[in-house]
Amino acid sequence: MSRFPNTLQAELQPDRKTWRLLAPFSYLDPDHGLIEVPAGFITDFASVPRWPLTFALLGQYGHAAAVLHDWLYATGNRSREAADRVFLNALRSSGIARWRAYLMFAGVRFGGAFRYRR
């Protein structure tokens, strides 16, 4: 069974910064079980700073993992540490290169505290 049982379906919103899920989305995490994100959830995918090199290296990767991470941060269904670990697992399950996945994981560990449960 795929760790992503269904396809990510989202549409760009009028603000041109956020996306709305058109269908439920889920991920089977090896440590935390099935995580389900409902249709209608609004995400900004990966919140990567728009610095040229940083965005070039990380900005267009890991949309599926970022949706899960945004959902877990918004709901508080898991601790911040667990949400960040799900993000890393999902990045790796998506085929994201190990170095890129760990760089993105470090970014959420370093800069994510102020967004948790907000």
Mean pLDDT of the chain: 85
Q: Percent of the chain beyond pLDDT 70?
A: 79
pLDDT value at 22 more than 60: yes
Amino acid identity at 52: P
pLDDT of residue 55: 44
Band of pLDDT at residue 1, cut at 50, 70 and 90: very low
Site of tokens 């994981």 = 105
Q: Which of 89, 77, 83, 78 is nearest to 112 (CA)?
A: 83
